[in-house]
Amino acid sequence: MDISTSEPTRRAITRREFTLIIASSFGALLEWYDFYIYAALAGTFSTLFFPSGNDTTAFLASLATFGAGFLVRPLGALFFGRLGDRIGRKYTFMATIVLMGAATVGVGLLPSFAKIGMLAPVLLVGLRLLQGFALGGETGGAATYLAEHSPASRRGLYTSSLQTTATLGLLSSIAVVSASRSAMDNASFQDWGWRVPFLVSLVLLVISVYLRTKLAESPTFQRMKEAGKLSESPISESFGKWENLKYVLIMLFSTASGVGVVFGTGHFYSMYFLQNTLKVAPDTVSLFLAIALVCVFPFYLVFGWLSDRIGRKWIMMTACLLLALTTQPIFHALTHYANPKLELFQKTSPVTVHADDCHFSLFAAPRSECDRIRSFLSASGVSYQQVPLQGGQTTATAIGDVTVHGSDRGDLERALLAAGWVQHADPSQINAPAVVFLMWLLIVYLAMVYGPMAAFMVELFPA
């Protein structure tokens, strides 16, 4: 059965359609808010829930835990997609929002590593997996529900309103985290204040559940149910038949993977790069990102509307191509405009590590001199190259014309400072409009992909 409708191309949005959009979008906004709080607090979590001894490794482990939520999203989409085909769209994404809310509150109540040891990161990963599982079901379920209520000529526009919730969720999480930080001193925030943004979601959950209880079931699902055409085994029909499986594979390896790269680059890596490599203050980065997100917001709707007129595919492909061509220049420009002193240092004082091969260790303190040197340089936002030791040589680090023997952090830091390295970006040297524009540009690419995405998926897999 096709989900298209015979409604006229030009007409005003009805009150019922507006209510559907608001209720569907608010629930999705809450789920993205819950999902993004962790990203906004990744630096804090690296010290709370992972072993000390290597700050860079702990931070990377914290980011990996955030990424774990994305890994299980396809499983959530499969599970809740099947459930939606069996019991209906409304009750399915009611379940996803309750599951997400419970997992988020669970993170807010979780004891730290200092109190329960390795059980802390294990439980944290488990709760992140639950969040990703729920989000996978929410995204597809809400998109299907909204698309099945939309006229065919406006499906891109209506469903793009749902796609704005990812940006609004990130913006909301940044706002709540920033407000919590501002309301107390840093020690209090590290001790207990970080829990506040997670517990706030409980109030939002109650509101969202109330709104969704007012929604009716999808008309497409109702017609299928009345006609006795509900699938008995939707998963086997989707993956057991080549004519269906080929579209699943196309979606997975082209569209979904491309969206993941654009999504991560626009929303997260630019923020991580500014904070941890360019050493811009977290509050400043949050402000820049918030401004960029607000400025991008209308473009989700613009590209959704445009996809109703020229098609979804070409807009999405153009975004991926532009990102591939401009990512490196954009991040070079971010370095130039956010921390010009660091850029000058890297040009005038190249760093080379002369050492034997390093060893990988996830949580333990670095073992070899190479490990310790590279860990320090990475944490300091310093780019370097490594060359193997020749016969009779000892471990050394060349910083411009100066050579530091051994792996003592104090010696390395003094040599870096003498060569012009800066520990923090100078606020007076930051070109704020340029940085915001570059962050905005990366997120516009996301709007180009994400705005038409829901309509594209629903039309690729019609009910």
Express each pLDDT in 413-435 by its tens digit.
899 888 888 888 999 999 999 99
The rounded distance, in Å, linking the Cα atoms of 198 and 35 is 10
Q: Which of 187-196, 209-218, 337-346, 420-429 has the lowest average pLDDT?
A: 209-218
pLDDT of 357 strictly over 80: no
Q: Do 90 and 179 sit in the same domain of this protein?
A: yes
Q: Do 194 and 62 sit in the same domain of this protein?
A: yes
280, 339 contact by CB (below 8 A): yes
The residue with greater pLDDT, 263 or 414, is: 414
Q: What is the pLDDT of residue 400?
A: 86
Q: Do 22 and 113 sit in the same domain of this protein?
A: yes
Of 91, 78, 83, 86, the closest CA to residue 231 belongs to 86
68, 125 contact by CB (below 8 A): yes
* CA–CA–CA angle 64, 65, 69 (5° rounding): 105
Q: What is the pLDDT of residue 321?
A: 92
Q: Do 212 and 326 sit in the same domain of this protein?
A: yes
Residue 219 lies in a domain: yes
pLDDT of 363 strictly over 60: no
* CA–CA–CA angle 135, 138, 144 (5° rounding): 145
The rounded distance, in Å, linking the Cα atoms of 106 and 127 is 7
Q: What is the pLDDT of residue 51?
A: 74
pLDDT of 59 strictly over 90: no
Q: Which of 7-16, 25-34, 233-242, 371-380 has the lowest average pLDDT?
A: 7-16
- Which two structure tokens, joined as six digits, stand for 424? 């923090």
Q: Which of 42-46, 359-363, 411-415, 441-445 has the lowest average pLDDT?
A: 359-363
Q: Do 25 and 51 sit in the same domain of this protein?
A: yes
Residue 223 lies in a domain: yes
Residue 51 in 3-state DSSP? coil
Q: What is the pLDDT of residue 249?
A: 76
The rounded distance, in Å, linking the Cα atoms of 50 and 146 is 40
Q: What is the pLDDT of residue 233?
A: 61
Q: Do 222 and 357 sit in the same domain of this protein?
A: no
**Site of tokens 């400072």:** 417
Residue 431 in 3-state DSSP? coil
Of 277, 264, 262, the closest CA to residue 338 belongs to 277
Average pLDDT estimate for 31-58 = 74
Q: Name the band, by pLDDT with cuts 50, 70 and 90, for residue 20.
A: confident
To the nearest 10°, the Cα dihedral for 174, 104, 262, 255?
-150
How remote is the C-alpha of 370 from its chain's centroid?
Answer: 32
Q: Do 335 and 321 sit in the same domain of this protein?
A: yes
Find the CATH number of the domain harbouring 357: 3.40.30.10
Q: Name the band, by pLDDT with cuts 50, 70 and 90, for residue 309.
A: very high
Average pLDDT estimate for 373-392 = 81
Find the CATH number of the domain harbouring 282: 1.20.1250.20
Residue 284, Cβ neighbours under 10 Å: how many?
A: 17
Q: What is the pLDDT of residue 231?
A: 61
Q: Name the band, by pLDDT with cuts 50, 70 and 90, for residue 8.
A: very low
pLDDT of 275 strictly over 80: yes
Q: How many CA atoms lie within 13 A of 97 on its CB side?
A: 30
Q: What is the pLDDT of residue 462?
A: 62
Q: Do 148 and 60 sit in the same domain of this protein?
A: yes
Helix axes 257-264, 313-338, angle to 10 degrees: 30
pTM of the model: 0.72
Q: Where are the alpha helices (DSSP H) in 148-185?
A: 155-182
Q: Name the band, by pLDDT with cuts 50, 70 and 90, for residue 447.
A: very high
Q: Do 270 and 403 sit in the same domain of this protein?
A: no
Q: Do 204 and 267 sit in the same domain of this protein?
A: yes
pLDDT of 87 strictly over 80: no
| Domain around 170 | 15-339+436-460
pLDDT in tens, 159-177: 888 878 877 887 888 888 8
Q: What is the pLDDT of residue 1?
A: 40
Residue 7 lies in a domain: no
Q: Do 446 and 414 sit in the same domain of this protein?
A: no
Average pLDDT estimate for 318-347 = 93
How remote is the C-alpha of 218 from its chain's centroid?
Answer: 29
The rounded distance, in Å, linking the Cα atoms of 146 and 162 is 8
93, 141 contact by CB (below 8 A): yes
Residue 1 lies in a domain: no
The mean pLDDT of the chain is 81
Residue 3 lies in a domain: no
The segment with the largest mean pLDDT, out of 351-355, 361-365, 427-431, is 427-431
Identity (one letter) of the amino acid at 95?
A
Q: What is the pLDDT of residue 438?
A: 97
Q: Do 189 and 202 sit in the same domain of this protein?
A: yes
Quote the number of domains for the chain.
2
Residue 372 lies in a domain: yes
Q: Which of 110-124, 216-230, 378-392, 414-428 has the lowest average pLDDT?
A: 216-230
**Site of tokens 């010696």:** 411
